[in-house]
Amino acid sequence: MRVAIAGAGAVGRSIAAELLENGHEVLLVDKSPGAISVERVPQAEWLLADACEITSLDEAALQRCHVVIAATGDDKVNLVVSLLAKTEYGVPRVVARVNNPKNEWLFTEAWGVDVAVSTPRLMSALVEEAVSVGDLVRLMRFSQGDANLVELTLPPEAALVGTRVGDVQWPQDTSLVTVIRGSRVLTPSADDVLEAGDELLFVAAPSREEPLEELLSLRREEGPAPGARDADGEEPDGVDTEQ
C-alpha cells in the first residue's frame, strides 16, 4: 500500500516509521527545509513541497496513493490537503489530524475526510475507557458512513453476561466487531458467550449509541436483556421484540 503523509514533523515521521515497519510504501511531504530529515526515516521517500499546491501533489503522484494522511500542525492545511486528495486525485482513504478540538466539526466527508483523529479527544476517550465499566465510550468517529467506534466493558452484574452473541438482538445499524478478553482479541461468532469484564468494541451509528448503552448496561435484577433468548431458543416472557 502506498501512503502519502503531509507533514514531516514528529507526528508524521512516527506514522511513517510504523507504516514502513509494516511493509508499506511511504512518501513524506513538507514545505519546510528544516523538516526534511531523511536520516530519521531513511526508508521513506521525501518531497520538499507545499502539500496545498496542485503542482506539488502532481509531483507526489497522489493519484497512485491508496491513503493520504494530513498530519501537519495546522488544521487549515490538513483540510485543504484532504479536500484536494479526495476531489482532485480520488484517493480512496483520507485520514486527517485535528489539532484544535474546536475545529473537529469541519473534518467531515464534505472536506474529503474519511477519518478524523483528534489527539485530545482520543486521549480523553482512552482515559475514560481505562476507568469506565458499564459506560459507553466513543473512541473514534468515521466521517464516511456516519459511524463511530465505541467501547463498553461489560460489568459483572450485566444481564448479557452468560449470553451467546447470536442470541442478542443488537440495535439496528450496530455491529459488534471485536471482543477483548484479557490479553486475547476475539472475532465474535454467534456461539461465543459474553463474560464479565469483556471489552466490547462496536461500530455504530450515532443515533444507536443510546439504545446500545441501555442494552449493555441492563442489570440482571432488571430482567433478561432485550433480544436474549432462553435455553430453548424462545423469547423470555414479557419481552416484546416487535419494532
CA contacts within 13 A on the Cβ side of 180: 10
Residue-wise over 101-126: b if at least 16 C-beta within 10 A, else e? eeebebbbeebbbbbbbbeebeeebe
Q: Are residues 100 and 177 in the same domain?
A: no
Q: Are residues 16 and 58 in the same domain?
A: yes
Domain boundary among 65, 86, 117: 117
Domain boundary among 117, 146, 168: 117
Radius of gyration over every alpha carbon of the chain, rounded to an integer in angstroms: 22
Q: Are residues 138 and 215 in the same domain?
A: yes
Q: Are residues 11 and 113 in the same domain?
A: yes
Question: What is the span of the domain harbouring residue 185?
Answer: 132-222
pLDDT at 156: 87
The three three-digit cell numbers of residue 237, written as one number: 416472557
Q: Are residues 12 and 101 in the same domain?
A: yes
**pTM given for the model:** 0.60
Q: Classify residue 233: in a domain, yes or no.
A: no
Q: Which long-range contacts (CB under 8 A, 24 or more apart) does 144-150 make?
A: 144/109, 144/114, 144/115, 146/205, 146/206, 147/173, 147/203, 147/204, 147/205, 147/206, 148/203, 148/204, 148/205, 148/206, 148/209, 149/201, 149/202, 149/203, 150/201, 150/202, 150/203, 150/204, 150/209, 150/212
Q: Are residues 109 and 136 in the same domain?
A: no
pLDDT tens digits, 189-236? 999 999 998 888 889 988 888 899 888 888 866 555 555 554 455 554
| Separation between Cα atoms, residue 75 and residue 98, nearest integer Å | 6
pLDDT at 20: 94
Q: Classify residue 243: in a domain, yes or no.
A: no
**Sequence-ordered list of residues with C-beta below 8 angstroms from that of 170, at least 6 positions apart, any chain:** 176, 212, 215, 227
pLDDT at 218: 82
Q: Are residues 143 and 212 in the same domain?
A: yes
Q: Are residues 92 and 152 in the same domain?
A: no
pLDDT at 162: 93
pLDDT tens digits, 139-172? 777 755 578 888 888 888 889 999 999 999 999 9
Q: Classify residue 236: in a domain, yes or no.
A: no
The three three-digit cell numbers of residue 50, written as one number: 507545499
Q: Are residues 102 and 143 in the same domain?
A: no
- Domain with residue 170: its CATH number is 3.30.70.1450
pLDDT at 131: 45
Q: Are residues 25 and 79 in the same domain?
A: yes
Q: Are 94 and 113 in contact (CB under 8 A)?
A: yes
| Separation between Cα atoms, residue 213 and residue 211, nearest integer Å | 5
| Separation between Cα atoms, residue 144 and residue 184, nearest integer Å | 29
- Domain with residue 109: its CATH number is 3.40.50.720
Q: Looking at the predicted structure, is the pLDDT value of residue 116 above 90?
A: no
pLDDT tens digits, 49-106? 999 999 999 999 999 999 999 999 999 999 999 999 999 999 999 999 999 889 989 9
Q: Classify residue 232: in a domain, yes or no.
A: no
| Separation between Cα atoms, residue 79 and residue 82, nearest integer Å | 5
| Separation between Cα atoms, residue 106 and residue 76, nearest integer Å | 10
Q: Looking at the predicted structure, is the pLDDT value of residue 241 above 50?
A: no
Q: Classify residue 177: in a domain, yes or no.
A: yes
Q: Classify residue 125: in a domain, yes or no.
A: no
Q: Classify residue 36: in a domain, yes or no.
A: yes
Q: Classify residue 101: in a domain, yes or no.
A: yes
Q: Looking at the predicted structure, is the pLDDT value of residue 29 above 50?
A: yes
pLDDT at 238: 44
Domain count for the chain, please give it. 2
Q: Are residues 182 and 140 in the same domain?
A: yes
Q: Are residues 35 and 74 in the same domain?
A: yes
